[in-house]
Chains A and B, each alone.
Chain A
Amino acid sequence: MFIHLAIKSLLNRKGSIILTIATISVSLFVMLGVDHIRHQAKASFASSVSGVDLIVGGRTGSMNLLLYSVFRIGAPTNNLSWQSYKRLSKKPSVRWAVPISLGDSHKGYRVIGTTPSYFEFYSFTNKQPLHFKQGKAFEGVFDIVLGANIAEQLGYSLGDTITLSHGIGSTSFRKHDNLPFKVVGILKATGTPVDQTLHVSLQGLEAVHVTEPLAIRRLKETPKMTLAKAMNLTPNSVTAIMIGLKSKMAVFNFQRQINTDKQEPLTAILPGVALSQLWQTMSVFDNTLRLISYLVIISSLIGLSATLLSSIKERLNEIRLLRIIGASSVYVFSLIELEALLIAFISVIIALVSLSMVLSVSQEIILNSYGVMIKPLIFSESSIELIIGFFLFVFIAAIPPAITAFSAAKNSHA
């Protein structure tokens, strides 16, 4: 009867209540959305690279190196020489070293040149290795392996041919269309920048940059050339090297060795450290977003309080009547609180449903345009905490109108 009374009372004031619910739903949507995307972005971000102990590049800033080697953001400032790669990979503490070369693209997606061992050693999210959905790693100079999103977005399948463009950006005027690549493998989705990347061999990347007409013609005649036979296509430099060490203990020592290398100016970063540094630099932005979402919630709750408070004046007769038929003042107080909590409950449901819907619809778009994997499921620990906190604030916001009703009930007499 208590809940029935509260529901009927709310229905009686449909107009203002629906508007209040709309206001609160929107603000909850913002708060929960911001929180969810924050967490997902952070998780997606932190898991973009794992199992790599050091990333080595030419002398540059550590943020910059991280951004272009892992996130394919920005342009590499310096390359490092092939000799340095050879030298570092032979150091006794190094278990594996995978070189990568950047600079070309295909329809706006970055192309990375590397060795087949990339697929063996590169890993993401708790050391999960890369898996092939179809096909296998490249073996020939003109073989290409696609990230999951590329294959899906551009509709490529095994056996298709692809030409690369020079430089980054989708409207490059210099295309390497003399020498097409054949798709030999498609990776499973990872939710990391790998999904947005095309992988070719270093030799393949070198081949498309050959300018001598005779050499180009020779290359065109041998589209099935294997990597082993392409000795003359060894690059002079690479963009970065991903290194796995035999012992984690050696990592700081090895980093210092590289940073103070006498033969070539190099920079080595610990991806985990650099990732959290990068995240730190974004924390101001992150906190501002959170603060704004809280302020939005608070203003909507003040609105709720005002709506309920102004309704009390119109409900004095109702309150007096409830008292006469035996309702206590506490009952009247609870009735107002219940009404506020019902409004809050409906708003939470609306916000959660619409947020999940929007997220599941926009998941693709966010992944494609920002490379951030957003799960549509929004019941994380922190969102539950936020919702519980929200109900607490609703209870507090409803105290002024509930107190007004309570004292009206106390002093109500015909």
Chain B
Amino acid sequence: MSIQLSNIKFSYPNASHKSVLNIEQWSVNDGDKLFIYGSSGCGKSTLLNIISGILCPSAGSISVLGEPLDKMSSSQRDRFRANNIGYVFQQFNLISYLNAKENIALASHFSKRNKMESLDNKITTLLEALEVNEDDWSRPTSMLSIGQQQRIAIARAFINSPKLLIVDEPTSSLDEPSRDKFLSLLTTLCDVNQTTLLFVSHDTRLKSHFDVVQNFTDINNEEVKG
């Protein structure tokens, strides 16, 4: 099992009466490419933050890649995240004043597990695989197109060979051809690296690219009214 949740409850500390998540049992198998859809504001991102260990559930137990996240300290979770989880957002995926290579190297810097001697080679391979123009590797990422930025974000997410990749609405700012390109590159890399993919979007047209499709309201028992 890649992810296993049981009896997870969550509410934000500043609004503790308002429960956001209530998940009895939910799990994701190793190597699955899972698509979760749901309208915005329904708690999808909160779930992703709990899985990546940025947020801690109010109650219940969670294990990711066999590690009990709810029993770890916050710094242990930081290290676990750096080592095992790749993350791609809708936007602001990159530090704008660093170039593509530096952004990727930074992600590797936080992962103490694999000190790669050939970091530069690996960055090059990833950027080539993601068809990022070589001219753009050393430019500040703020000067690149959104499509380029999102592909660099995938490279950044893959640099530590994560076992789990979380992708949160990455395509909403892309046009249709770049979106399809983006998805095919993403799924190919997941296959190559045997990475479990957790893809969240409100856009159900994307679901054809995935093995498993779930509606978020089937996972979360809490009715969240935005």
Q: Is B95 a contact of A321 with CB atoms below 8 Å?
A: yes
Q: Is B55 a contact of A413 with CB atoms below 8 Å?
A: yes
Q: Is A320 a contact of B92 with CB atoms below 8 Å?
A: yes
- With A1-B106, A8-B98 given, is the CB distance from A325 to B54 under 8 Å? no
What residue in chain A is nearest B14 (Cβ atoms)? A411
In A322-349, the 8 Å CB interface with B consists of 322-330
Tell me how far the C-beta of A412 lies from the nearest C-beta in chain B, rounded to whole angstroms: 7
Residues of A within 8 A of B48 (CB): 414
Asked if B133 CB lies within 8 Å of chain A CBs, one says: no
Interface residue total, chain A, C-beta cutoff 8 A: 23
Residues of B within 8 A of A329 (CB): 74
Asked if A177 CB lies within 8 Å of chain B CBs, one says: no
| 24 residue pairs from A and B, CB less than 8 Å apart | A4-B102, A8-B97, A11-B97, A12-B96, A318-B96, A321-B95, A322-B95, A325-B82, A325-B107, A325-B110, A325-B156, A326-B79, A326-B82, A326-B83, A326-B110, A326-B111, A328-B74, A328-B75, A329-B74, A412-B54, A413-B46, A414-B45, A414-B48, A414-B49
What residue in chain A is nearest B79 (Cβ atoms)? A326
Q: Is B78 a contact of A324 with CB atoms below 8 Å?
A: no
Q: Is B87 a contact of A324 with CB atoms below 8 Å?
A: yes
Q: Is A326 a contact of B81 with CB atoms below 8 Å?
A: yes
Residues of B within 8 A of A9 (CB): 97
Asked if A259 CB lies within 8 Å of chain B CBs, one says: no
Chain B positions 75 through 97: 1 when the CB is less than 8 Å from some CB of chain A, otherwise 0: 10011011100010100111111
Q: Is B93 a contact of A1 with CB atoms below 8 Å?
A: no
Residues of B within 8 A of A12 (CB): 96-97
Residues of B within 8 A of A4 (CB): 102
Asked if A317 CB lies within 8 Å of chain B CBs, one says: yes
Residues of B within 8 A of A317 (CB): 92
Asked if B109 CB lies within 8 Å of chain A CBs, one says: yes
Residues of A within 8 A of B87 (CB): 324-325
Residues of A within 8 A of B92 (CB): 317-318, 320-321
Chain A positions 1 through 27: 1 when the CB is less than 8 Å from some CB of chain B, otherwise 0: 100110011011000000000000000
B-side interface size class: 20 to 34
Asked if B168 CB lies within 8 Å of chain A CBs, one says: yes
Residues of B within 8 A of A412 (CB): 54
Q: Which of B92, B95, B168 has the most CB of A within 10 A?
A: B95
Residues of A within 8 A of B46 (CB): 413
Q: Which of B54, B75, B168 has the most CB of A within 10 A?
A: B54
With A4-B102, A5-B95 known, 14 other A-B pairs at CB within 8 A are A1-B105, A318-B95, A320-B92, A321-B93, A322-B95, A323-B78, A324-B81, A325-B106, A326-B111, A327-B78, A327-B110, A413-B46, A413-B49, A414-B48
CB < 8 Å neighbour of A413 from B45, B102, B107, B110 = B45
Residues of A within 8 A of B74 (CB): 328-329
Chain B positions 139 through 171: 1 when the CB is less than 8 Å from some CB of chain A, otherwise 0: 000000000000000001000000000001000
Residues of A within 8 A of B79 (CB): 326
Chain A positions 124 through 144: 1 when the CB is less than 8 Å from some CB of chain B, otherwise 0: 000000000000000000000
Tell me how far the C-beta of B214 lies from the nearest C-beta in chain A, rounded to whole angstroms: 19
Question: Cα distance A413–B81 when bound, in Å?
Answer: 14
Question: Cα distance A330–B102 when bound, in Å?
Answer: 21
Tell me how far the C-beta of B3 lies from the nearest C-beta in chain A, rounded to whole angstroms: 17
In A304-327, the 8 Å CB interface with B consists of 317-318, 320-327
Asked if B52 CB lies within 8 Å of chain A CBs, one says: yes
Question: Cα distance A326–B45 when bound, in Å?
Answer: 18
Q: Is B89 a contact of A1 with CB atoms below 8 Å?
A: no
Residues of B within 8 A of A8 (CB): 97-98, 102
Tell me how far the C-beta of A313 lies from the nearest C-beta in chain B, rounded to whole angstroms: 14
Question: Cα distance A321–B98 when bound, in Å?
Answer: 13
Question: Cα distance A273–B124 when bound, in Å?
Answer: 76
What residue in chain B is nearest A330 (Cβ atoms)? B75
Question: Cα distance A9–B95 when bound, in Å?
Answer: 9
Residues of A within 8 A of B168 (CB): 414
Question: Cα distance A77–B81 when bound, in Å?
Answer: 86
In B93-123, the 8 Å CB interface with A consists of 93-98, 102, 105-107, 109-111
Question: Cα distance A393–B25 when bound, in Å?
Answer: 53
